[in-house]
């Protein structure tokens, strides 16, 4: 990374972060929605932890904490896609394309912003979960793995959504960024472990790559890093895949004149 590349990336990141944290309409949804899911699931469904066959030591609150943590970092990435779409819709993208000698630096800038936004959300979710009495059996290394995994998910989601945004270049592309992520998240063992799912949802969840990530996150909270390797491999694969997608989308945006 040369100096110009870094300076473009930092400028784009600083501006996106500034916008997000000074506009309640932009930051609130990404914090409130996860907390709301957490309240509805960990609070409303607490008895689900008593179902015969549900054995997860840290308890149902911690079980849902894992989901909400990963979910919020994924949506932090999707919301960054919204921001990119808005920028290119109003022509601001052209200003960036014009000033950046190396244009992938723009993408990197948005990714940094996505990371900061997700880090903030993850912090809030963690604090709330601890306050709500989630018991984490995780050690330092496990926590490192847990947040690292969340960051990879954030990166993959931001690359996916950013790629869509650079192709559609309009906020109309919002559902296209959001719905697949939503489906991937919810067609997984959200409420109960995989073995308690039956029928079609069991079949779908078994092949859903997100299932392995979620399982690893829950295992880490339980102090077990055994499944982390697979989860990291899967999420790194997604990052690579959507990285290529996003770069190709950037080329599209360039060819269309921003």
Partner 1 sequence: MSSFGHAGLLVRRSVIRTLRQPANLVFSFIFPLLLLAVSAGGLTATTKLPNFPTNSYLTFALAVPFIQGALFSANSAGTNFAEDIESGFLSRLSLTPLSRSALLTGQLAGVVALGLLQAVVFLAVGLAAGAGFAAGIGGLPVLLALSVLITLGFGTLGALVAIRTGSGEAVQGMFPLFFVLLFLSSTSLPRDLMSVDWFRTVATYNPVSYLIEAVRSLLITGWDGKALALGFGFAAAIAVAGVYLCSRALRNRMVRT
Partner 2 sequence: MSQPNGIEVDGLVRVFKKGPRAVDGIDLEVPPGEIYGFLGPNGAGKSTTVLMLTTLLPPTEGTARVAGYDVVREGAKVRIAIGAALQDAALDPFLTGREHMRLQGGLHGLDRRERERRGDELLERVGLSEAADRKVGGYSGGMKRRLDLGLALVHRPRILFLDEPTTGLDIQSRTALWEEVSRLSKEDGATVFLTTQYLEEADVLADRVGIIDHGKIVAEGTPAALKAEIGHAHVEAQPANEEDRGRLDAVLERCDGDLTSIVRELDREGIRVARLTVHEPSLDDVFLAKTGRSLEGAGDDEDELLEEALA
| List of residues contacting partner 2 (CB under 8 A) | 3-4, 7-8, 10-12, 14-15, 18-19, 22-23, 87, 90-102, 254-258
Contact string (CB under 8 A) for partner 1, positions 37-56, x = contact: --xx-xxxxxxx-xxxxx--
CA distance 146 to 77: 17
Minimum separation from the CB atom of position 17 to partner 2 (A): 12
Minimum separation from the CB atom of position 23 to partner 2 (A): 6
- Which range in 4-12, 13-21, 189-197, 246-254 contacts partner 1 by CB under 8 A? 189-197
Residues in the chain: 258
Distances (CA, A) of 106 to 69, 74, 82, 230, 236: 27, 20, 15, 31, 21
Minimum separation from the CB atom of position 132 to partner 1 (A): 9
Interface pick for partner 1 out of 5, 29, 232, 247 (rule CB under 8 A): 29
Phi-psi region of 59 (alpha: psi -120 to 50; beta: other; left: phi over 0): left
- Which of partner 2, partner 1, none sits in contact with 255, Cβ below 5 to 8 A by type? partner 2
- Which of partner 2, partner 1, none sits in contact with 199, Cβ below 5 to 8 A by type? partner 1
Q: Which C-beta is closer to partner 2: that of 4 or that of 202?
A: 4
H helices of the chain, where?
Answer: 3-22, 24-38, 44, 60-89, 92-99, 104-131, 140-168, 174-186, 199-207, 209-221, 228-255
Q: In sequence order, what are the residues at sequence separation of 6 or more whose Cβ sits closer than 8 angstroms to the Cβ of residue 91?
A: 258
Minimum separation from the CB atom of position 213 to partner 1 (A): 17
Please count the other Cβ atoms lying within 10 Å of the Cβ belonging to residue 252: 14
Q: Contact between 186 and partner 1 (CB under 8 A)?
A: yes
Distances (CA, A) of 12 to 83, 97, 100, 212: 12, 11, 10, 33
Output the DSSP codes for 192-227. Answer: S-GGG--HHHHHHHHH-HHHHHHHHHHHHHTT--TT
Interface pick for partner 1 out of 101, 131, 198, 255 (rule CB under 8 A): 198
Count of positions on this chain that bind partner 1 (CB under 8 A): 32
Q: Contact between 33 and partner 1 (CB under 8 A)?
A: yes
Answer yes or no: are the C-beta atoms of 223 and 138 closer than 8 Å. yes
- Which of partner 2, partner 1, none sits in contact with 19, Cβ below 5 to 8 A by type? partner 2
Please count the other Cβ atoms lying within 10 Å of the Cβ belonging to residue 111: 23
- Which of partner 2, partner 1, none sits in contact with 201, Cβ below 5 to 8 A by type? partner 1
- Which of partner 2, partner 1, none sits in contact with 39, Cβ below 5 to 8 A by type? partner 1
Residues in contact with partner 1 by CB under 8 A are 29, 32-33, 36, 39-40, 42-48, 50-54, 186-187, 189-192, 196-202, 204
């Amino acid at each position: 990374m040369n100096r110009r590349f870094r300076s473009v990336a930092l400028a784009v990141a600083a501006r996106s972060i500034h916008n997000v944290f000074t506009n309640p309409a932009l930051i609130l949804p990404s914090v409130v929605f996860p907390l709301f899911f957490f309240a509805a699931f960990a609070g409303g469904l607490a008895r689900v932890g008593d179902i015969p066959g549900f054995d997860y030591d840290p308890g149902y609150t911690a079980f849902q904490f894992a989901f909400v943590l990963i979910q919020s970092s994924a949506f932090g990435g999707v919301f960054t896609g919204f921001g990119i779409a808005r920028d290119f819709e109003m022509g601001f993208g052209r200003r960036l394309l014009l000033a950046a000698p190396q244009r992938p630096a723009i993408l990197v800038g948005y990714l940094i912003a996505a990371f900061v936004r997700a880090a903030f959300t993850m912090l809030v979710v963690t604090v709330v979960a601890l306050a709500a009495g989630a018991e984490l059996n995780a050690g330092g290394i496990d926590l490192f793995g847990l947040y690292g995994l969340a960051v990879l998910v954030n990166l993959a989601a931001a690359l996916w959504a950013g790629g869509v945004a650079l192709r559609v270049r309009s906020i109309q592309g919002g559902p296209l960024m959001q719905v697949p992520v939503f489906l991937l998240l919810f067609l997984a063992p959200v409420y109960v472990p995989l073995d308690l799912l039956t029928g079609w949802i069991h079949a779908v969840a078994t092949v859903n790559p997100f299932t392995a990530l979620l399982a690893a996150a829950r295992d880490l909270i339980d102090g077990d890093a055994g499944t982390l390797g697979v989860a990291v491999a899967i999420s790194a694969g997604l990052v690579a895949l959507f990285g290529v997608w996003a770069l190709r989308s950037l080329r599209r945006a360039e060819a269309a004149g921003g």
